[in-house]
Amino acid sequence: MNIIKIILFSLLASATLFAAPSLADRAKSMTLKAIPTDKAELSKLTDPNKTITIEKVELGKTLYFEPRLSKSGLISCNTCHNLGLGGVDGVPAATGHQWTANPHHLNSPTVYNAVFALSQFWDGRSPHLEDQAQGPMQAAPEMAAPKELVVARINSIPAYVEMFKKAYGESVKVDFETITSTIGIFERTLVTPSRFDDFLGGDEKALSNAEKEGLELFLNKGCTACHSGIALGGGKQKFPLISKYTYAEIGDFKGDANGIVKVPTLRNIIETAPYFHNGAIWTLKEAIQEMGRTQLGQDISDEDATKIETFLGSLTGTKPQIVYPQFPASTTETPKPDLK
């Protein structure tokens, strides 16, 4: 009897010790992480400097949609990073002031979950969202607004100055840095939890069998080498790494000084076509296969690419509800729109 017990116990122990880890555990061991459901834990990631307040987020949201931050008065952050379109514009190259396309033919990256990225812009030259927001506003082919114009427009509208006072206190200086960093603070809240997070959190039924199969392939093929962490991306990598990018001739972007390119997040990827830094690829399947060639040196079959695509669908998240802002009216002091 004792011997039988020992044998049974040993079998049980070895089964536990050597059981294949669950798919969720494997995903986590390969760096994938859920968006924390615990607010304090999430806040440690999205708001390490504790700048988020209701007033700043509300003001930042208003500024995010505010077209008068552009020289013409027609273009807002939301024009290229449309919060209803997965945080992008859906066109290959960002197009702004005077209908000018980005001179490097760069595609607008999504603002959703950008807070989880280690840096901003395609070459990762910006350390955080507050800094990033300064770029497009001034860039000639985007919003084309000199700092002084942005500051003058906002300060000419007493209701805006009041909003800044409410958010930062009476002595606030409503300068370019404060205006843009307030937009960055709003962007920190643009986080979209999805079924994949539920799955990583232990809900095995959150993904369908087809999605799990796709995830297996995603892990086995090595995609998490770059598409890692909460964002499934957001780091940097040499691109192309192994073979030539098929659409390399579109635009002249070659990454940073070392040919390193920021890795896009895969969250909401189904909503953010066209793909790649130059927006040259319209279908996710082709994008997956191109990645296989350029970064992993492998041909991913149509069947496998379709399965991976199915998995990526589980990364479509719930967007925060945004009440469209009412902008305070311009005054006679407000610098006029300039479409030239």
83-102: contacts with a second copy (CB under 8 A): 83-86, 89-91, 95, 98-99, 101
Active site residue 142: yes
User: Of 183, 93, 87, 176, whose CA–CA distance to 133 is shortest?
Assistant: 183
Nearer to a second copy, 85 or 139 (CB): 85
* Site membership for a second copy, residue 184 (CB under 8 A): no
Query: Please, what is the minimum distance in Å from the beta carbon of residue 312 to a second copy?
Result: 12
198-257: contacts with a second copy (CB under 8 A): none
Among 172, 221, 330, 335, binds a second copy (CB under 8 A): 330
Class of residue 246 by CB neighbours under 10 A (exposed 0-12, middle 13-18, buried 19+)? middle
Catalytic one of 130, 142, 187, 271: 142
* Strands 236-238 vs 95-96: parallel, antiparallel or unpaired: unpaired
- Give the rounded distance of the alpha carbon of 167 from its chain centre: 26
* Site membership for a second copy, residue 72 (CB under 8 A): yes
* Site membership for a second copy, residue 283 (CB under 8 A): yes
The site map against a second copy for 14-53 (x = CB under 8 A) is ----------------------------------------
Nearer to a second copy, 90 or 229 (CB): 90
Kindly report the three-state secondary structure assignment for every residue of 67-96: HHHCCCCCCCHHHHCECCCCCECCCCCCEE
Asked whether 105 and 278 are in contact (CB, 8 A), the reply is: yes
> Is the dihedral angle over the CA atoms 208, 209, 214, 217 positive or is it negative?
positive
Give 324's contacts (C-beta < 8 A, 6+ positions apart).
65
End-to-end Cα separation, the chain, in angstroms: 92
Site for a second copy, rule CB under 8 A: 65-68, 72-74, 79, 82-86, 89-91, 95, 98-99, 101, 270-271, 273, 282-283, 316, 319, 321-327, 329-330, 332, 336-337, 339
**What amino acid positions are annotated as catalytic residues?**
142
